[in-house]
Structure 1
Amino acid sequence: MKNIKIYEPAMCCDTGVCGPGIDQELLRMKSVNKVLEQHDDITIHRYNLTNSPESFMENELVTKLLQEEGPNVLPITLVDNLVMKKGDYPDNEEWKKITGIAFTTEKEKKDVNTGGKCC
């Protein structure tokens, strides 16, 4: 069983759809999270500094990274309590290496369907 924990910077929500613009990276992470939650051999938890500050304090590794590197170290992705990525979310290829699950973006889906040509 893989245990994935993502420690994110302070924000109002994890979907990327709040405020005046849509954060595509948060929207992608919401989709990744949704897919991973469907797998029995993977647990995934996302912790937002605004909503779950106690989760940051309870994890000594996360606390240490924040003290040593400051808030720019966030987001931190831990897999089985080992740092897999810090300062950014894993991209789709990194998620594939971590979980064995292939993720594609909407652009990649369109490129497959159109041979890379637009319309």
Structure 2
Amino acid sequence: MTKIQVYDPALCCSTGICGVDVDQEKVTFAADVDWLKSQGGQIERFNLAQEPMAFAENPVVKSFLGRSGAGALPLVLVDGEMALAGRYPHRTELAKWAKISLPVTDTKPGGGCCSGNPCD
């Protein structure tokens, strides 16, 4: 099974969605992480403020931080290799990495994704 690891910048809590000024990107990503887990995906998150040793003990992460600094986080590893840096992945990216199919969604009001015709 694919292993996804997310190395977050220093956050106030494990998800970064606490307080009065909540970043919508973090809210969306937290929901996507929950979705991935509910689909059987394997994903771990590490917070620089709460788990600094996870950053120091991983050679890929340590090298990345040495080159780019903590300001370039978040960093996403897929099976131990760097897959994304500088932003949180979208649900479609998580699903692709985890080899999980996304359900087809309607994109046209009342007509389905293909105006009522079966999608190919």
Q: Pairwise mapping of residues 1-119 of structure 1 onto structure 2 (< 5 A)?
A: 1-40=1-40, 42-99=41-98, 100-102=100-102
> Which segments of structure 1 move beyond 4 Å, counting only runs of 4 or more?
111-115
Instruction: Provide Cα deviations, 1:44-83, integer angstroms capped at 9, x if missing partner.
Output: 1000001111111110100000001111221001110011
With normalisation by structure 1, the TM-score equals 0.78
Name the structure with the higher helix share.
1
The one-letter amino acid of 2:24's match is: Q
* Aligned residue identity for 1:58: E
Structure 1: stretches of 5+ with no match in the other structure? none
Q: Label 1:102 to 1:16 Cα distance change in 2 as closer, same or farther (>3 A).
A: farther
Identity of aligned residues (%): 34
Q: 1:46 to 1:66 in 2, by over 3 A?
A: same
Instruction: Name the structure, 1 or 2, with higher relative contact order (CA <8 Å, separation 6+).
Output: 2
Q: TM-score, normalised by structure 2?
A: 0.77
Q: Quick one: which amino acid aligns to residue 22 of structure 1? A: V
Asked if the contact 1:16–1:24 (Cα under 8 Å) also holds between the matched residues in 2, the reply is no
Higher Cα radius of gyration: 2
Give the Å deviation of 1:113. Answer: 5.4
Instruction: Count residues in correspondence.
Output: 110
Asked if 2 retains the 8 angstrom alpha-carbon contact of 1:92 and 1:103, the reply is no
